[in-house]
Each structure stands twice: as C-alpha cells, then as structure tokens.
Amino acid sequence: MIGLIQRVQAAQVEIDGELVGKISQGIVLLLGVQKKDNEALSDKLLHKVINYRIFEDDDGKMNNSLLDIEGELLVVSQFTLPANTKKGLRPSFASAAPPELGQSMYDYFVAQAGHKLVKPVQTGEFGADMQVSLINDGPVTFWLEV
C-alpha cells in the first residue's frame, strides 16, 4: 500500500463540478492499493499517516502529527501510484490491485481512519474522475510505503 501525503492548509475534491469532500488544515492522502495489500498493511499505513510528525510545534520544528493538531484527513484513491515507471515511456500497472480489492482496501482504510480521528474523514469517490484542489503547506509532501 502506498500513500502520498501532503500537509495542507485546505483541500477539496470535486466530481463533475460537485463538491464531495473538503478539509481545512490537515493531510491529503493519495492512496494507492497494490495486489499484495491486506487489512494489516492498511492498518500499518493508517498508523503512519495519522502519527507522522509533519506539523510544526511552537518552535517551528516538525514534531506534531495529525492526531496532535486534531487536523483533518482527505483520502483520495489513486490507482496510478503503484505504477512501474522504470522502463519506457508508458507506465505499467501490473502491481496495482484489481478494482474489487482496491475498492475494498480503500473502504477499509477510510472506515478505520474514521474510528481514530476526531473530525470526520473526507473522501473522493473510488474510481471516479476527480478534480483535487489543495493549498500545500510548505510545501510538505512525503511518499509512504508499507
């Protein structure tokens, strides 16, 4: 399971011009599911996402997590993250999860996140053509793999 996290001041996702998810300060997580992924890996990634210390403390150092600041989380499915881009000029999606597994792992991740965070988890829609807008704070972006 792969997560690309971005520390944001604000973010939103729209589908066909309709707003479906919106957050203020927090994390946008682009979530990529691979064939080998399962609930244990999802739990491990969730732990990392919500506890990763990417928010500044009073001294301006990245010592606070999403949990520490009671920030918001926007989870967007991103099937292109598992792509192999090492050869040629066209990505290979051989390691990406099939849609059924991807949907199941995405739904599981969002549900588990909802149990751990103070504020409701915001999402896009699995498999949809989404337009994601964000104000990356820093910019701060990290690639997380489990």
Residues noted as catalytic: 78-80
Q: Any idea which residue has 């992924």 for tokens? A: 37
Question: Which residue in 3, 14, 13 sits closest to 54, CA to CA?
Answer: 3
What are phi and psi for residue 67, nearest 5 degrees?
Answer: -65, -40
Residue 96's CB is within 10 A of a number of other CB atoms, namely 21
Identify any residues that bridge with 98 across adjacent strands, giving them in sequence order: none
What are phi and psi for residue 99, nearest 5 degrees?
Answer: -50, -40
